[in-house]
Structure 1
Amino acid sequence: MLVADRVIAIAIMALSAYFMWHATELPIGWNGMTGGPGGGAFPFWLSLVMLLAAGGIFVRSLGEDHGGQSFFDGVMLKSVISVVIALFATIALIPVAGAYIAIPLFMFWYVRIFGRHSWFLTGCLALGTPVFLFFFFEVTLKILLPKGFTEPLFFPLYAMFF
């Protein structure tokens, strides 16, 4: 598994470097004209974090020895597959119902059903995440997220913030 860890880490580092390179085609600093970050800022800095995290995984794998044991067992593989299916369902639901419906549904499933956490934590995350996303992307960065059939519900919010 160490070979797989290293190969995946190197692939993610290469992909991150590629994304950073393309993000520099747009301004990555503060844009004084719009009063916000440049169009390449978020992709650049997110890619840099990915590069550093993958680099940390690669460095950590150099000092490990798993003794030939497999990383995945049957239970873990089933869990990974169920999360991947839920993510694909969420991505498929975003154009239809919008990000503000699909993401809380995924958060509810992941935290309450899959993770078996408390109703309080589930409610905080499932309701807090879309509120945070709205203010971060739509109000602060002026990046509109897909809303699907819920678009008319956002007109009063647009009137307040734009």
Structure 2
Amino acid sequence: MTVRTAEFTAAILLSLAALGLMWKSTDGLSIGWVSGSGPGSGFWPFWLSFVMLLSSLATLARCFFGATPQSRSTEQFMDRETVQIVGTTVAALFFLILGASYFGLYVSLIAFLFFYLRILGGHSWGLSVGLTLFIPIFVFFFFEYLMTIPLPKGITQPLFYPIYQLIY
């Protein structure tokens, strides 16, 4: 696949996604301003999708007219090494989502971050361990404490009971 083909394909797919989101935003939702209340429930999804559609159409026009170097490029879009890195990342994200349903999001996030930072990224032990511990703790307190939105914990749920007693 060439750079030109990739740009064209991405613009088409994003245009279709924007149209789908715009259509879904009007499904029983108000996309306008509700008097005395503010924006309707479909306002932001609809209008942000509309802007995404306009951006995608502009990219399609630039691609059609060859207005940018990328839209004229016949170079290969991704080499073998890039495909391997993207494939490994997709597989790691798949296992993150799969693990979140059984082990819980926080344990899966720790495993994902350690794999991605230390094993795949080759970062130092200090940075890898520091971020692997800091990010899940930050996510926990942001969602569970500040926003009171519980995230899935799977079989690790009992480990969180002492923390709940401290913060609630």
Common topology (TM > 0.5): yes
> Is contact 1:9-1:55 (8 Å) kept?
no
Describe how 1:5-154 pairs up with structure 2 within 5 A: 5-14=10-19, 17=22, 48=48, 62=62, 63-66=67-70, 67-154=73-160
Contact 2:106–2:153 at 8 Å: present in 1 too?
yes
Amino acid at match of 1:64: T
Change in Cα spacing, 1:55 to 1:107, as seen in structure 2 (3 Å) is: farther
Contact 1:12 1:51 in 2 (8 A): no
C-alpha deviation, 1:125, in angstroms: 1.7
Residues 87-132 of structure 1, C-alpha deviations (whole Å, 9 max, x = no match): 1111111111111100111011111111111222212221111111
TM-score, normalized by length of structure 1?
0.71
In the TM superposition, residue 136 of structure 1 has moved relative to its aligned partner by 1.1
The answer as to whether partners of 2:96 and 2:112 remain within 8 angstroms in 1 is: yes
Query: Computing the radius of gyration over CA atoms, which structure comes out larger, 1 or 2?
Result: 2
Q: Is the 8 A contact 2:103 2:155 kept in 1?
A: yes
% same residue: 29
Question: How far apart, CA to CA, are the structure 1 residues paired with 2:111 and 2:96?
Answer: 8
Alignment match, 2:8? 3
Distance 2:125 2:159 in 1: 26
Could you list the per-position Cα deviations for residues 42-70 of structure 1 after superposition, in whole angstroms to 9, with x for gaps in the alignment? xx68x95x987887677567353332112
Q: Which runs of 5+ in 1 are unaligned?
A: 26-39
What's the TM-score once normalised by structure 2's chain length? 0.68
